[in-house]
Amino acid sequence: MHLLQVDIASQALNNQPTEITLNFWELALKGGWIMIPIVLLWFIAVYLFIERYWAIKKAAREDINFMNRIKEYIHDDKIESAIALCQAQNTPVARMIEKGIQRIGRPLSDVNAAIENVGNLEISKLEGSLPTLATISGGAPMIGFLGTVIGMIRAFYDMSMAGNNIDVGLLSNGIYTAMVTTVAGLIVGIAAYFGYNILVAKVEKVVFTMEANTTEFMDLLNEPV
C-alpha cells in the first residue's frame, strides 16, 4: 500500500506541467517584422540623445571670468586680444561676443543685430536634431499601434480559418504581435519624449546664458567714455 502511494505521487509529479520561460529576444521576435522599424527608431533616438547631450553640455561651458577679461581688454583698447580670447573659448557665447567686438565703432543697433544673428545660428545648431527626436517620440507609438492592428487582424483571420477548431495556441501569434509591438512602441516613444524634453531644458539654459552675456556686453558698449 505504501509503495502504491509513492508510485502515484511520483506519477503526479512527472505529470506536472514544466515551466516555460521566454527571454527578451524571443519575445521581441514574437512582434514580427513591425519590430524592425521600432528597433531602428530606438537606436536612432539613443544616438541623437547622446550626441546632442554632449554637444549642448560643451556649449554650456562658462568661464566666470570671461566677461571681466573682455571688459578689461575693451577698456584698454586691446581689441585683438579680446577677439583672440573669444576664439580660444570656442562657445556660442564667445562667438556672439566676438561678432559684437568686430562691430565696435558701428551704431549700437547694428552691433546688437549682428550678435542676435549669430545667436540665432548657434541656437539653430543646438536644436538641430531635436525635431527628429520629437518625431520619434510621437511616431514610435503609432508604429506600435499599427502592429497591434496587424496582430489583431491576423488573430481574427486565423480564427475564421480554424472554423470550430479554435484554441488559444492558434490565436497566440496574432495576439503576441499585437501586444509586443504596442509595448515596444510605447517604450521607444516614452524614452524619446523624456530625452527630448531634457535636451530642450538644457538648450533653454544655454539661451539664457547667451542673453545674459549679450546684455552685459551691450551695457559695456553703452558705458560713457
pLDDT digits (tens, 9 = 90+) for 137-194: 999 999 988 888 887 777 667 666 666 666 556 556 667 677 888 888 999 999 999 9
pLDDT at position 142: 93
Q: Which residues of the chain have pLDDT under 50?
A: 1-6, 8-13, 16-20
pLDDT at site 111: 86
pLDDT number for residue 51: 93
The pTM (predicted TM-score) of the whole model is 0.77
Strand partners, 104: 106
Q: Tell me how crowded residue 25 is: count the other CB atoms within 10 A of its CB.
A: 7
Going from N- to C-terminal start, the domains of the chain cover 23-222
Spatial contact of 154 and 171, defined as CB atoms under 8 Å apart: no
**DSSP-assigned states of every residue in 164-210:** T---HHHHHHHHHHHHHHHHHHHHHHHHHHHHHHHHHHHHHHHHHHH
**Can you give the pLDDT at residue 3?**
44
pLDDT the model gives residue 20: 47
